[in-house]
Structure formats: structure tokens, C-alpha cells
Structure 1
Amino acid sequence: MDNETAGTRLPDMVDIPRNIRRRREQLGMTRAQVCARAGLPPKWLVDLEIGDAPLTRATLGILAAALKTNVGALMSGAFDAPEAGVPDTRSLIAMSEKECYARLATHEVGRLAGNLHHTPWVLPVNYVLDGNEIVFTTDPDSPLAHVRGTTAFEVDDVDRYARLGWSVLVVGVVEPVTDPVEIARLTEAGAGTWPARREELWLRIHPGRVTGRRLRPGPARR
């Protein structure tokens, strides 16, 4: 996977605190002034600037607004962009199949689309990757139990504060898993559903097409 992992993790936590401090000093603002704007405790910003405090994507978005800049600038250190009120540009980047699988491996819940009695539905399902295939279990009475043939499975991650995110779409064929040895192996690996059930149906998606896109921050418009 390349280093443009917008929506999955923050860049180097050495660079970001340095960029935050540089931007604050560029504006001639004290830590207290920044924290008053952001609604954050001043002691936390002191610790952050020396690399001793955690930073989430949501908090980074709040800090960007308080520092009259954007998330992309705080991540890159490029502060020659317009200040508050002018949104930074974003671009959708197509992900390779390898990157799609890497992101699928970081999550446990996706959405499966199907059709029952001529009524379309989309339901959440917790899953695991078994090689390049997606495995999940369901209750015999669930609409998921009737899924067969080609279907669509989607997983995404969105941070609305930082305006970062990604999505992966898997189009493949669903088949039941009936081999007791295979079921025992999957059970041992912890592939069962979150709610405990006495009777579970095991299903496997054999991917035919795996595509994904991520939202990459870009420099602000001039």
C-alpha cells in the first residue's frame, strides 16, 4: 500500500505536532488562544506539540479550523494556502486490489445487498477475510440466509470531521459453506457472528471484482 492512506491513519506523529506549532506561531497565536477557539484544554496542546499527546482525525479537523487552515495543510506543512472559509480540494483516488484487501482486513462489518421476494435490501454483516474470500454467518431465518449467486458487498470508513475516507466494493458469488472440517477451521479462527447463535449458516463470497476509492486531501484553491 502506498503512503497516501487517507481515512485509515494519520501521517507521522512527529511531523503533525511540528506543523501545528509552526502554524500557530505563523499566526502569532498562543496555545491558550488556539485552545479557546477549539474548545480544547491548553495542557493537551502543550503535550501535543512535544509529541506526548494522542491526536485523532476528528481533533485534527477541529484544530485546523482553529488555526485558520485545513487538514491537508496540517498534514503536509504547506501553509501557503488560503485561510479559513475556503475549503481545500479533494480528489478521489482509485485503489489497487491489494490496497482494497488491506483495508478490508482492518474492518469487521460491511453491508451485503440482496433481493428477497422482489424486494431489495441492504443489511450489515460482520465478516472475516479468509485469504481473498469473505466469510460470514447468519441466522437461518435471516434474509441473508437466502443469498445465492452474484451479489455486492461494501465496506467503508469515513471521518466527517477531517473529511477523509474510503470505500471498497466487492462483487462476487455467494455460496454456502457445508464442509464440517471447513466450518470447524473457520470457527476456530473466530469467524462466527457477534451475537452468539446455536444454529448458524456459513456463507462465503468468492470475489469476481474488487474495486475501491479513497478521498485524498489536496492543496486549497487559490
Structure 2
Amino acid sequence: MTSQPLRDGPSERSRAHPGDVSRRVAQRREQLGLSREEVAARAGMTSSYVRYVEEQCHHTIGTNALLRLAGALRTTASHLLGGDAEHVPGEEAVGPPVMEEMRPEECWNRLSGQDVGRIALTTGGGHPAVVPVNYAVVDGTIIYRTAADAPPSLAKGNEVAFEVDQLDACLSAGWSVLVLGAAERVVDPEDSRVLEAHPGPWSGGEDDLWIRIVPSRISGSLIRSV
């Protein structure tokens, strides 16, 4: 199906609220003539989540989910966030964003509420790389599963950085958490049985290498407009 150009006229754009991700996702889907099920299949998510975004999610959305929806809808994350919307006349101007440091317990709460993060590591050739993984928080550590020859496996035995964030560029709001620590292979059979209840990699397959990141430092920043 050929992507159709956006046809928002001046009256539509003047009514747009920068944070109204729901309206823009639903509008773009309808422009392409797609069902929620079709968008969900393209984005690799459930149709119930697409429905949630269109009907209830009016403020922020995870960066990863936003990018997947944008790709499925043949548009950009910036458009879905309202980055091309005009300022609504009469709206109160938003001041410059401020950054606040989060306490460790708040950082852990944020980490526990997400399931996709990024690991900064060094490849076999000595080059830096950042790779995404889906993860879980278990007993104050970060755990994930991968294949023995996949890039995330290179973390084991090394000090790594692990980051999770949720940002809304249009609203100048969001947060970011950074974990520094040693990555180790999980070798205890009892530990492995416990970890089986947690999510595996998106790629599926026989990915039976479990890696645990034991934090030595955790820090986080909260960004909000004033």
C-alpha cells in the first residue's frame, strides 16, 4: 500500500496539542487504511496496546514503542509527538525544562516498570557499541537472555553501562536511568530456573545464555517543564 501524504489543514494543526500522541496515531492509521491488528503486526506488539495508545495514552509513551509505531505507520516519531504542530493561540508558554536528580529507590522503580534497555559495551574488535535488550529486574540486578554468539553476550566478564529512558521531546519531559556494573554469566542451575519466568529476547530461538549485571552505581535524571 502506498503511503499517503499527511493532509492536516491549518484548522486541524491549530487544534493539535503537542502531547496528543493518541490522536496522531489514530489519525495516521486511518489515513493508511490500516486496522489496529495490522498496525500491531507491523510494530510487533499486541492490538490491545495499540488500542490503549489511541484511546488512553495522552501524555508520554516509551521511546521504543514510539519508534516501532512510527515505523509501522510510515511516519516519524517527531510527527507522532507533535513536533510539527503549530502552537495553539492563547496557550500559556512553557518555560525551559529543568533536570532533577532521582534517588536510587526512584531509579529502581523506573527500571522495574520497563522491559527494554540498552547496553554499552566493547565488541570483539575493540569498537564501542550500544545494543538493545529486553530485561527484568531481579533481586537488585539486571538480567537478560541472549545467544552465545549475539552482541549482548559480549558483556559477560566486563564492566558495562546499561541505560533505560522514557522521553517526550515535544513536552520536554521524561527520565533516564544509568546503571554501571559488572556483567556476569548466570551459571547456578537454581538461578536459571528462577530466571525462566522472565522475558526472553525478541528474536526468539534457542537463546539460553543468561547474563546478570550487578550494579556498582545507579543514577537517574528527571526532566520536566516549569
Which TM class, normalised by the smaller chain length? 0.5 to 0.7
Letter in 1 for 2:111: L
Q: How many angstroms does 1:39 deviate by?
A: 4.7
Instruction: Pick from 117, 124, 141 the counterpart of residue 132 of structure 2.
Output: 124
SS of 1:88's partner is: coil
| Percent identical residues | 32
Q: Give the corresponding residue for 1:66.
A: 88
Measure the CA separation in 1 of the matches of 2:208 and 2:98: 42
**Given the alignment of the two structures, is residue 92 of structure 1 paired with residue 69 of structure 2, yes or no?**
no
Q: How does 1:148-163 map to 2 (within 5 A)?
A: 148-163=157-172
Write the deviation string for residues 85-123 of structure 1: whole angstroms up to 9, x where unpaired.
Answer: xx5121100000011011111111111011122111110
The Cα of 1:185 is off from its aligned counterpart by: 1.2
Q: Which runs of 5+ in 1 are unaligned?
A: 1-33, 45-52, 71-82
**Aligned counterpart, 2:27:** none
Quote the offset at 1:61 in angstroms: 7.2
**2:181 corresponding residue in structure 1:** 172
- Asked whether the 8 Å contact 1:135–1:191 carries over to 2, the reply is no
Question: 1:148-198 deviations in whole A, cap 9, x for unaligned?
Answer: 2211001111112212111000001101001122111110x2232222222
- Determine if contact 2:16/2:82 at 8 Å carries over to the other structure: no
Give SS of 2:99's match: strand
Match of 2:15 in 1: 38
Contact 2:145 2:207 in 1 (8 A): no
**TM-score (ref. length: structure 1):** 0.63
Would you say the 8 A contact 2:179–2:218 is kept in 1? yes
- Residue 23 of structure 1 corresponds to none
CA distance in 2, matches of 1:89, 1:107: 27
Which structure would you say has the larger RCO, counting Cα contacts within 8 Å and 6 or more residues apart? 1
Does the alignment pair 1:115 with 2:122?
A: yes
Match runs of 1:164-203 below 5 Å? 164-187=173-196, 189-203=197-211
In the other structure, the counterpart of 1:18 is none
Aligned residues: 159
RMSD (CA atoms): 2.8
**Which deviates the most, 134-143 or 193-202?**
193-202
Q: Go from structure 1 to structure 2 and tell me whether the alpha carbon gap of 1:67 and 1:141 turns closer, same or farther (over 3 Å shift).
A: same
Normalized per residue, the structure richer in strand is 1
Three-state SS of the structure 2 residue aligned to 1:161 is coil
Shift of 1:141: 1.0
- Contact 2:81-2:168 within 8 A present in 1 as well: no
Correspondence for 1:135 among 143, 155, 161: 143
**1:69 Cα offset (Å):** 2.7
Q: Which 4+ runs in 1 deviate beyond 4 A? A: 58-64
Segments of 5+ residues of structure 2 without an aligned counterpart are 1-10, 18-22, 24-54, 61-79
CA distance in 2, matches of 1:55, 1:191: 24
- Checking the alignment, whether the CA contact within 8 Å between 1:57 and 1:161 is kept in structure 2 is no
- Residues 36/109 of structure 1: CA separation in 2 closer, same or farther (3 Å cut): closer
Question: What letter matches 2:211 in structure 1?
Answer: L
Superposition deviation, residue 146 in structure 1: 2.3
Shift in alpha-carbon separation, 1:207–1:197, aligned structure 2, 3 A:
same
Name the residue aligned to 1:19. Answer: none
